[in-house]
């Protein structure tokens, strides 16, 4: 084949993607992509390295970083590929998500939101801004697909509801995320030392948010047992491994709730007194939970941009020849 033949075949493959990825034929390679985002220094890189079974020590992420993993499903079969994108800088560089998620790969994309449980005052702000920008971007892609490829758009919309059983009592109360979403609460070891009332409020709020968005929720820390649970969820998205069916909703233990296995009746009302709830003006349940949460943990007015150090001065990126030329130019 000439280069042109290959290019034409590639374009045709992109324009007419195969039917659902879940039934990949033997011998075919499946490709999935996952975008990791969340608090600065929240442990995203550590989780990715553990999923890929790499022993290296994590470095701070600059802007948007890419790595990949490969696994063979059976002996002597081609290896499946998972693309891991990681957004650094907390919420300051959120616009960069337009780069990895496109019309061509939205069907095979998933999002992992890593929230630092040891910083509850940043938790809601980080979650809200990252999920809002991501959702707006995904909605634009879906609008485009509705015009160019309505079958794929309909399939994505149908898949959003797949985690909820048909007769789930909360169908009218939730608003599933357009693509699979996993929320990871990191640094559970520090969170575990918090006052039990604080832990209860954070746990209940994250359960509500995860259920509202049709997401899976898992708490993790550096302990191997907890990392394994997070890995199981991510490996399901990345390589199609079996889903874990176990559930842990006990607030005194690390939470583990796969998508669709929680319910509003189990979560209960927002953790505030009836008189407080009566005073809070909120148009949606999500807004009400936000107000209750921020009453206990007032959001820090933190600007991510100000503490972004100049990477040119960072010793881990030192390159002698480049730095000498740069010093000369500055002079």
**Would you say residue 43 has pLDDT above 80?**
no
In this prediction, residues 29-46 reach a mean pLDDT of 79
Question: Going by C-beta distance under 8 Å and a sequence separation of 6 or more, which residues neighbour residue 277?
Answer: 269, 270, 288, 292
Question: Residue 183: phi, psi to the nearest 5?
Answer: -105, 120
Q: What is the dihedral of CA 110, 252, 50, 138, to 10 degrees?
A: 10
- Over the stretch 82-92, which tens digit does the pLDDT of each residue have? 888 888 777 67
The pTM assigned to this predicted structure is 0.76
Q: What is the dihedral of CA 156, 160, 161, 162, to 10 degrees?
A: 80
**Would you say residue 273 has pLDDT above 80?**
no
Q: Could you tell me the CATH superfamily of domain 28-296?
A: P-loop containing nucleotide triphosphate hydrolases (3.40.50.300)
- Over the stretch 192-229, which tens digit does the pLDDT of each residue have? 888 888 888 888 888 888 888 888 888 888 777 777 77
How much is the pLDDT for 19?
A: 46
Residues β-bridged to residue 82:
32, 69
How much is the pLDDT for 305?
A: 42
Lay out the sheet containing 109-116: strands in order across.
64-72, 79-87, 31-38, 109-116, 181-186, 216-219, 256-257
- Over the stretch 101-124, which tens digit does the pLDDT of each residue have? 777 778 888 888 888 888 888 888
**Would you say residue 77 has pLDDT above 80?**
no
């Amino acid at each position: 084949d000439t280069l042109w033949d290959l290019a034409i075949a590639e374009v045709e493959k992109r324009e007419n993607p195969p039917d659902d990825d879940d039934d990949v034929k033997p011998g075919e390679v499946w490709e999935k992509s996952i975008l990791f985002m969340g608090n600065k220094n929240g442990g995203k890189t550590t989780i990715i390295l553990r999923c890929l079974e790499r022993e290296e020590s994590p470095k701070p992420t600059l802007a948007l970083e890419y790595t990949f993993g490969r696994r063979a499903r059976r002996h002597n079969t081609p290896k499946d590929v998972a693309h891991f994108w990681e957004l650094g800088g907390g919420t300051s560089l959120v616009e960069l998500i337009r780069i990895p998620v496109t019309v061509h790969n939205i069907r095979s994309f998933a999002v992992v939101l890593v929230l630092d449980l040891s910083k509850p005052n940043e938790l809601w702000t980080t979650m809200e801004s990252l999920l809002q920008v991501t959702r707006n971007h995904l909605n634009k892609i879906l609008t485009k697909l509705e015009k160019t490829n309505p079958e794929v758009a309909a399939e994505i919309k149908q898949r959003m509801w797949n985690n909820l059983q048909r007769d789930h009592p909360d169908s009218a109360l939730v608003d599933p995320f357009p693509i699979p979403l996993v929320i990871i609460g990191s640094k559970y070891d520090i969170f575990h030392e918090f006052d039990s009332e604080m832990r209860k409020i954070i746990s209940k709020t994250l359960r509500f948010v995860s259920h509202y968005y049709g997401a899976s929720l898992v708490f993790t820390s550096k302990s191997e047992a907890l990392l394994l649970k997070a890995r199981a969820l991510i490996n399901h998205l990345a390589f199609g491994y079996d889903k874990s069916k176990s559930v842990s909703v006990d607030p005194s233990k690390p939470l583990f709730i796969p998508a669709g296995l929680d319910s509003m009746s189990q979560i209960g009302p927002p953790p505030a007194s009836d008189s407080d709830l009566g005073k809070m003006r909120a148009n949606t349940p999500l807004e009400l939970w936000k107000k209750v949460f921020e009453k206990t943990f007032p959001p820090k007015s933190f600007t991510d941009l100000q503490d972004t150090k100049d990477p040119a001065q960072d010793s881990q990126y030192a390159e002698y020849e480049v730095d000498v030329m740069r010093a000369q130019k500055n002079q």
